[in-house]
Amino acid sequence: MVLTEKEMATIEDLHTQELSCVEKYKRYGQEAKDPVLRDLFADLEKKEQKHVESLEQVMKGSVPSCNVNDRDGKMYEPKATYDSMTNPEDKKNDNFLATDSIGSEKMVSGTYNTDVFAFGDSDVRKLLADIQVEEQNHAEMLYKYKTVNGMA
Ligand SMILES: [Fe+2]
Ligand SMILES: [Fe+2]
């Protein structure tokens, strides 16, 4: 498969965005106080790294197979760490990190939703749609974390 110039530029922008998601979750993993949230960020960092690699494959001319995974959000069941007795400053810190991450996921998901229309190849379209669903899963996991900890 050969990408047009416009398609290549679009993939490059998405790639940059995914790299910054990897970096963000790495940093947020270091900033989070709650080990449950640290684990979630570590998991998301790995998932974003997979997006980076998928896009790199497209840049090289092939499309990785995708599995339309819409279960991650559904299956995630975090245990609550924060209650009225726990450190309110830690909770405030972690609430900020989770809320800010949901904002990023929402933005990235929106970008995929728009960019998918720029591609001629059906398999690329399917891959980008699949990644978009995964970004929504990430947001769902973060939302569940907030809810169970009384942050939502
Ligand atoms: Fe991603
Ligand atoms: Fe994501």
* pLDDT over 80 (residue 34): yes
Residue 134 alpha carbon to ligand 2 centre in Å: 7
pLDDT digits (tens, 9 = 90+) for 55-113: 999 999 999 988 776 788 889 999 999 987 789 999 999 999 999 999 999 999 999 99
**Residue at 139 is within a domain:** yes
Residue 35 alpha carbon to ligand 2 centre in Å: 20
Residue 84 alpha carbon to ligand 2 centre in Å: 30
46 membership: H or E segment, kind and range: helix 35-59
**Residue at 152 is within a domain:** no
Q: How many domains, in total, are found in the chain?
A: 1
The one-character DSSP state at 34 is S
Residue 11 alpha carbon to ligand 2 centre in Å: 16
Residue 138 alpha carbon to ligand 2 centre in Å: 5
**CATH number for the domain harbouring residue 110:** 1.20.1260.10
Q: Locate tokens 């990644």: which residue?
A: 131
**Residue at 115 is within a domain:** yes
Residue range(s) defining the domain that contains residue 123: 5-147
